[in-house]
Amino acid sequence: MALRVSLARQVALAGRLSSSAAGGKRCFSATRAAASLSENAKQSIKRDAALPNPDPAPDSPSAALVNDHAPYMVATYARPPPVFVQGEGSWLWDIENRKYLDFTAGIAVTSLGHSDPEFADIIAQQAKTLVHASNLYYNPWTGALSKLLVEKTLEAGCMHEASKVFICNSGTEANEAAIKFARKVGNTLDPSGAKSDVVSFNQAFHGRTMGALSATHNPKYQKPFAPMVPGFKQGTYNDVAGIEALVDENTCGVIVEPIQGEGGIHAGSEAFMVALAKRCREVGAVLIYDEIQSGLSRTGDLPVLYASCSLCE
């Protein structure tokens, strides 16, 4: 179970070797990373992966806690046995004080690492000031954050039409809201309701709520909750030739990951992204960039610059 530090070093090396400049910006290619590893590095990874890291024993504190809590929890996943109780930076410790390197950053959300002192202090101070006032009213923080996001996006040279922010609690909620915005635009442009199709792409993952799940054309995720919301179409990622037929006058929105995450770290080509944006403008469809796993400096600067900034030219 415990991830080995030597394995982490090899993966970090792969990341350094595979960082390349695209339009003056750095972007990551997992394919190039794997190809760039030496045979010795590959063998080292295999050796480390084969080392025994036993799960907590049946009579361990971890097992006792799991056995006590599991009967009261919905089994959304087949969870592994470690019970994490502390984090610092990129490291985690379980209840038995075993140390793990966190390769997943929670579920791709702890971009600042665990227990960042400044972040923890800000949260504590805010909790002592005002926890929640709802979006029915103004407050000093939501507007300031919205302004900062718009300014930083424009400074990066991206989304030159961006002027407003809708604050959400999660990535899935943001995608759900974006799909609703697209449907609303479609109904405004065509009150008959015909302009209601939402296009997404194979290998995509946009979330587990019904709208976002309907845009995630993966039987593994969709089948248990069928039927899906009607009006969702699937295209082939990076298929420039198929865009014109796929995105038509009945399309209200297109949602795309500039770099696909759960689909296998597939990067959208510049030609694909530019053609997609051009076609959306032609038919009046809302183009939604899902950068939940790739944006906010996870793969470069603020947005996924090499893809979305090319649209500003």
Q: Are 302 and 152 in contact (CB under 8 A)?
A: yes
In a domain? residue 303: no
Q: What are the pLDDT digits (tens) for 157-200? A: 777 777 899 999 888 999 999 999 999 999 999 999 999 999 99
Q: Does 283 share its domain with 182? A: yes
By three-state DSSP, how is residue 25 classified? strand
All residue ranges of the chain with pLDDT < 50 are: 1-31, 304-307, 309-313
> Residue 307: its pLDDT value, please?
44
Q: Does 148 share its domain with 112? A: no
Q: Does 154 share its domain with 175? A: yes
> Residue 53: its pLDDT value, please?
66
Q: Does 191 share its domain with 95? A: no
Q: Does 190 share its domain with 219? A: yes
> Residue 20: its pLDDT value, please?
35
In a domain? residue 114: yes
- SS (HEC) of 151-204: HHHHHCCCCCCCCCCCCCCCHHHHHHHHHHHHHHHHHHHCCCCCCCEEEEECCC
In a domain? residue 295: no
Q: Does 99 share its domain with 209? A: no
In a domain? residue 158: yes
Say how many domains are in the chain: 2
In a domain? residue 216: yes
Q: What are the pLDDT digits (tens) for 205-220? A: 999 999 999 999 999 9
Q: Return the bridge partners of 21, or none.
A: 26
Residues in the chain: 313
Q: Return the bridge partners of 26, or none.
A: 21
Q: Supply the range of the domain harboring residue 113.
A: 81-128
Q: Does 165 share its domain with 201? A: yes
Q: Does 117 share its domain with 86? A: yes
Residue with tokens 């209601």: 196
Q: Does 188 share its domain with 228? A: yes
Q: Are 227 and 221 in contact (CB under 8 A)?
A: no
Q: Does 122 share its domain with 148? A: no
In a domain? residue 247: yes
Alpha carbon 286 to chain centroid, angstroms = 20
The Cα–Cα gap between 17 and 35 comes to 10
Q: Does 184 share its domain with 277? A: yes
> Residue 244: its pLDDT value, please?
97
CATH of the domain at 240: 3.40.640.10
> Residue 152: its pLDDT value, please?
85
In a domain? residue 58: no
Using CA of residue 159, residue 177, residue 268, residue 13, what is the dihedral sign? positive
What are 129's two structure tokens?
């000031």
Q: Does 167 share its domain with 192? A: yes
Question: CB-based contacts of 201: which residues, under 8 Å, 6+ apart?
Answer: 217, 234, 235, 236, 237, 256, 257
The Cα–Cα gap between 113 and 101 comes to 11
Question: CB-based contacts of 87: which residues, under 8 Å, 6+ apart?
Answer: 93, 102, 110, 113, 114, 115
Question: CB-based contacts of 268: which residues, under 8 Å, 6+ apart?
Answer: 237, 238, 256, 257, 258, 259, 260, 307
